[in-house]
Amino acid sequence: MGLPESNIVLAKLPPETFPHLTAHYERMLARPAVQKTIEVESDVGYELPA
């Protein structure tokens, strides 16, 4: 089961298409709690269930 066609189209758009969403994403990644979570999940090999 793949992504719906509309999601595939959105995935191919450049980030500049959504400047507010891109700014939010960058602000979230700058937060220490988010950085720590990414680090911990990377070390553990965290994956979402299928």
Of 2-6, 7-11, 13-17, where does the model show the most confidence?
13-17
Q: What is the mean pLDDT of residues 28-35?
A: 96
pLDDT of residue 35: 95
Neighbours of 43 (CB within 10 A): 8
Is the dihedral angle over the CA atoms 34, 35, 41, 42 positive or is it negative?
Answer: positive
Which letter does DSSP use for residue 25 in this model?
Answer: H
pLDDT, averaged across the chain: 82
Q: pLDDT over 90 for what percent of the chain?
A: 38
Residue 44 confidence (pLDDT):
81
Provide the whole-model pTM. Answer: 0.60
